[in-house]
Chain A
């Protein structure tokens, strides 16, 4: 049966409103994409076409190979690799350590169990934005400034992921646990054979959210990585904008912006189902 909730609203109005919404999001990106394929002079003259010039798509290749205008030593593909490495390390790392600690809290009763639980929970209240300076000092003490570990390890704690896994584990039916016990499964086998398979959908959902979270970091890499070899694409594009207003060919910066947007958007669109699940179940 076709579910019709007409609400006395004609279809064309819905198409109009949604179409405007789509346009509001797509237009800036389209303008920048089209701008990237123009020659640099066209942008300065202001005669910019809304149509991308397909013959100039190779601008993306040359931007990938060449350095960012502000920072010619590091090619854009290198920034993309750092971003991808950071996003993957954060997503996988957060999932692994949250899964393990949720398993401990849900299935074991040990001393200081609640202390551990509340210690983890407190991270919710301390986003990096509120502790910029002292965190930098701690990083310096551990010699983690300008290192890949410094970019990723401090971001690995996640209260929300731990809480989510704990809820998923608590919902595992008792029969399943009994059966595992009858089979003589030890704690490690129980984790790998039962718990991880039943939470596969949650893991996928979390992965999408956390990959985006990692890719989109700005303040943290700005603080701990001043070495250009560790520039992420997000850092790189903001720096080009800052330094290169008059000097830099605008079309190359626009191509860079498109390259910064593309990977996380592909992940969200390709994994849309898990993304919506992940978003509505946890936030970050």
Chain B
């Protein structure tokens, strides 16, 4: 629905949208255009000559085992973080929807971790899991289990997944709980009269009704795992040991900021932009539906 215009003129509305549009053009569109431009060009070693390179930067990426490895690693990482964070959020929400004593307190105690910065959460996990000084990590080593995520790539990946999921559970908990509470009481009552019990009732009644929420959270969690875990990974492992926790975003940072490979990292940025368009469009549709209703 569009509201009919109530005020005329163009100077005032133009002034009102100007700050937002200016920030968007200068800090979003300009850099994006520049990324596309440099992804299509190549600069010589001295930075003197720039020439059009067509798709060769992209071709180089996709024939580079390092990039394909990061792509595969990021997919696995995203799948694990999403599965873990959503499963925990769902289980906690199902039990918090229960009428029990102290449930308001439980909710508060399950919501606050949303406020912990991903990078700071990673620091907490360093304190707990570091092989020499970590409160739990050193105990593992004393017990004869060889735990050292600074040397073992699999352990590093496991730790980065757990630390990344840890900060995202609260978000999923809030949405699953809101989803459960919007299920009409009559539906639940009817299921109860039909004799559906326990897990079967959950699987056949609640889960299908939670599908829209689940789908929405799936997109948000995948985007979170792909893009917003940069701080977690940098604080815990800096992408190492070797490349074993290097996701696509960490690789852009390493290649561009640390190794100053402008064309290569721009091509990577352009690929990431293409990757994020799909989820962003879906999120937009969901947002529209949610607030219009």
Give the shortest distance, in Å, between B9 (CB) and chain A (any CB): 7
Q: Which of A53-61, A71-79, A93-101 contacts B (4 or more CB under 8 A)?
A: A93-101
* Given A31-B127, A163-B287, A218-B230, A133 contacting B16 (CB threshold 8 A): no
* Given A21-B88, A101-B20, A177-B6, A132 contacting B269 (CB threshold 8 A): yes
Is A196 in the interface zone, CB < 8 Å from B?
no
> Is A167 a contact partner of B174 (Cβ separation < 8 A)?
no
User: A-B pairs with CB below 8 Å: how many?
Assistant: 322
Is B76 in the interface zone, CB < 8 Å from A?
no
Is B253 in the interface zone, CB < 8 Å from A?
yes
Is A127 in the interface zone, CB < 8 Å from B?
yes
Chain B residues closer than 8 Å to A7, beta-carbon distance:
98, 197-198, 201-202
Question: In the bound complex, how far is the Cα of B198 from the Cα of A44, in angstroms?
Answer: 48
> Is B28 a contact partner of A18 (Cβ separation < 8 A)?
no
**B contact face: mostly helix, strand, loop, or mixed:** helix
Give the shortest distance, in Å, between A222 (CB) and chain B (any CB): 8
Is B40 in the interface zone, CB < 8 Å from A?
no
> Is B25 a contact partner of A238 (Cβ separation < 8 A)?
no
Question: In the bound complex, how far is the Cα of B24 from the Cα of A162, in angstroms?
Answer: 12
Give the shortest distance, in Å, between B215 (CB) and chain A (any CB): 14
Interface set, chain A 142-157, CB cutoff 8 A to B = 142, 153-154, 156-157
Residue among B116, B238, B266 making CB contact with A261, cutoff 8 Å: B116
Chain B residues closer than 8 Å to A163, beta-carbon distance:
284, 287-288, 291
Is A17 in the interface zone, CB < 8 Å from B?
yes
> Is A129 a contact partner of B119 (Cβ separation < 8 A)?
no
* Chain B residue at minimal CB-CB distance from A160: B287
Chain B residues closer than 8 Å to A193, beta-carbon distance:
none
Q: Mark B77-119, 1 if CB is under 8 A from A, else 0.
A: 0000000000010011001111111000010111111111111
Residue among B10, B88, B110, B272 making CB contact with A22, cutoff 8 Å: B110
Q: Could you list 27 A-B pairs, sorted by A, with CB under 8 Å?
A: A9-B98, A13-B95, A15-B100, A18-B110, A108-B9, A110-B13, A111-B10, A122-B29, A124-B284, A126-B31, A126-B32, A126-B273, A126-B276, A129-B227, A132-B252, A133-B266, A137-B31, A157-B24, A157-B28, A170-B1, A216-B119, A218-B231, A219-B231, A241-B123, A250-B133, A269-B111, A279-B114
Interface residues of A (CB under 8 A from B): 2-5, 7-9, 11, 13-15, 17-18, 21-22, 24-26, 28-29, 31-32, 35, 43-44, 46, 48, 97-98, 100-101, 103-111, 113, 116, 119-127, 129-138, 142, 153-154, 156-158, 160, 162-164, 167-170, 177, 181, 187, 190, 212, 215-216, 218-219, 222-223, 234, 237-238, 241-242, 245, 250, 253-254, 257, 260-261, 264-265, 267-269, 272, 275-276, 279-283
Shortest Cβ-Cβ A-B pairs, 5 listed: A218-B231, A216-B117, A108-B13, A134-B31, A104-B16
